[in-house]
Amino acid sequence: MTGRLSGRLAVLAAVVLALVPALAMAQEPVAPPAPGVIATGVSIADIPVGGLSEADAAQAVITQHVVPRRAPLVVTFRGRNLKLEPIKAGYVADVDYAVRGAMLFGRSRPVPVGGVSVPLREKVNRTRLRALLILRARTNDLPARDARLTFSGAKPVVTKPRIGVVVDIARAMARIESAILLRDRTAYALPSKRVRPAVTSVGPAIIIERNKFKLTLWRAGKLRAYPIAVGQPAYPTPSGIYRIVSKQTNPTWFPPDSPWAAGLGPVPPGVSNPLGTRWMGTSAPGIGIHGTPQSYSIRTAASHGCIRMYIHDAEALFEQIEIGTPVVIR
């Protein structure tokens, strides 16, 4: 037992004696760097600058780190390659501050074993980056498109709705700010989001062809024609594109302020009411679509500008249209 202990003590003594020279060397003072020169083992943003002057260190950081981050950043959106200018996004790097920090090591601060990398303060102006992204989005977004009804002559033309694809500005801000600073890939995808159209279908439309004494209801791609009467030559039905602005069941007829209606009092609902049982007012002043008890006038130019229909036809039309329905008069 005593022999084993003696052997272990001898091994420990040998290890201690072997470490003494190394410990002595580690404790030897390190000579400070030359004036104006950065100490060995110091880097800035992982770029070695030890042994360089302040000016050379600054140039090395600018050339190897800053310049690549000032180069145009390639972003992709909807299959297109676009470029963003980091300078326009307000990218800046405080190289001088980092160099001053690097000069402290080996002087007021020891250089750690294994060296030290001084961080480089960099930033992007988020206000300018947002404006830059909005500008790019404005010319590259695919806006949502509402369903729309237009007319080619008397023919309805339907524009189908479309889902939009636009840059998600909020998510793009964080991604592109990081991309400008990291530059860890050749291109960056701009985050996008889908935008649904506000209007996904179109309602009915009315087409009136005066020379044919015909009213056509267009609804869900189907056509239904009705015979009508239109205005006399002295009181023509106006042409143009209007819309339905009012609907009344069993209306009271109030005579217009016109010589031909002088002395005619209001007519309450009933069989003698000149408006029949339904009134559909248009945005053309004083012009409406209505039934008429004078069925013999249908297919003639007999009214004072309004569009007359058979009473049963006016009632059927009334149920199939709504406020805002377009009315094309040709």
| Residue 170 confidence class, pLDDT cut points 50, 70, 90 | very high
This prediction has a pTM of 0.70
pLDDT above 50 for 83: yes
Give the span between the Cα atoms of 164 and 195, in whole angstroms.
5
For the chain, list the domains and their CATH numbers: 205-329 (2.40.440.10)
The pLDDT assigned to 89 comes to 97
Give the span between the Cα atoms of 290 and 153, in whole angstroms.
24
> Residue 110 in 3-state DSSP?
coil
Beta-sheet pairing, 42-44 with 47-48: antiparallel
Residue with more model confidence, 14 or 193: 193
CA distance to 211, 250, 275, per residue, from 295 (Å): 18, 17, 12
Across 166-171, average pLDDT: 98
Pair of tokens at residue 117: 């990398």
The pLDDT assigned to 30 comes to 62
Pair of tokens at residue 147: 């369903």
Residue type, 192: S
pLDDT above 80 for 13: no
pLDDT above 50 for 101: yes
The pLDDT assigned to 68 comes to 96
The pLDDT assigned to 268 comes to 92
Give the span between the Cα atoms of 329 and 238, in whole angstroms.
7
pLDDT tens digit sequence for 14-54 = 433 443 444 344 445 568 899 999 999 999 999 999 999 99
The pLDDT assigned to 32 comes to 86
Q: Please state the φ and ψ torsions of residue 121, each to the nearest 5 degrees.
A: -75, 120
The pLDDT assigned to 144 comes to 97
Across 1-23, average pLDDT: 42
| Residue 272 confidence class, pLDDT cut points 50, 70, 90 | confident
The pLDDT assigned to 8 comes to 46
Please check whether residue 267 is in contact with residue 253, taking contact to mean a CB–CB distance below 8 angstroms: yes
Across 122-136, average pLDDT: 97
The pLDDT assigned to 262 comes to 75
Give the span between the Cα atoms of 127 and 88, in whole angstroms.
11
Across 59-66, average pLDDT: 98
pLDDT tens digit sequence for 298-307 = 999 999 999 9
Across 237-255, average pLDDT: 95
Give the span between the Cα atoms of 6 and 140, in whole angstroms.
84
Q: Please state the φ and ψ torsions of residue 247, each to the nearest 5 degrees.
A: -140, 130
